[in-house]
Amino acid sequence: MKAVLLDRDGVINALVYHEDAGVIDAPFKRSQFKLLPRVPEAIRLLNDMGLKTAIVSNQPGIAKGHLKPQMLKAFERKMLSKIRSGGGHIDCIFYCLHHPKARRPDLRQTCRCRKPATGLLELAAAELHVSLAECYMIGDGIPDLLAGSRAGCRTIFIGRWKCEICQFTEAQHVLPAFVAKDLWEAAQLIRSEMTGTGQVTSSSNCLVVQI
């Protein structure tokens, strides 16, 4: 394996409960953007293993009128600064800004880049000069698993593996290779698999590495 493709919200940074709308979503304000624990260390570990890293993220907030393009760039600067301070680096970032029900007409479309489509992953693989079969796809949502599976990546799900998620993915034949509680654990699983250390067992129809 040569590269790791990462979703952003829920993997790199925390999701936010927006009380006014009653929804859990990506951050809309600078003060809401916070990296999850041990993310810089996890990315440094991936770097140290010689794996290239890219972020591939649906970001429809601009299309929906939740934030301005400048705010998305501010989030990006903060994210990269925090990762660098922990000794890690991201090689490239690709966002899909579209949404089929966007308030902005120029962003209202059904595109090839919005996950679960594979366009973002294809762009990242081309930029990193790797094949998608040589990539891990790490995400916290069903669209991430679908996109990764369709692209031929090895997928890792971040979060609690709930019954309703498992039922959906079994129907789609897209069970992840691993389930991890966070990016740090996912990076350790990747290290164990790549180095051949740790014991691989089956749990709830998913593979788990005991380290």
**Selected catalytic residue, list 7, 106, 140, 144:** 7
Contact 191, 49 (CB under 8 A): yes
d(CA 208, CA 93): 28
Does residue 9 have an active-site annotation?
A: yes
Does residue 106 have an active-site annotation?
A: no
DSSP E strand stretches across the chain: 3-6, 16-18, 23-25, 52-58, 92-96, 135-139, 154-158, 178-180, 199-203, 206-210
What is each CA distance from 176 to 47, 130, 158, 172, in whole angstroms?
22, 21, 10, 11
Contact 1, 46 (CB under 8 A): no
- What's the gap between Cα 51 and its chain centre? 15
d(CA 63, CA 49): 37
Which residue carries 């041990």 as its tokens? 38
Contact 118, 151 (CB under 8 A): yes
**Selected catalytic residue, list 9, 25, 140, 144:** 9
By annotation, the residues acting in catalysis are: 7, 9
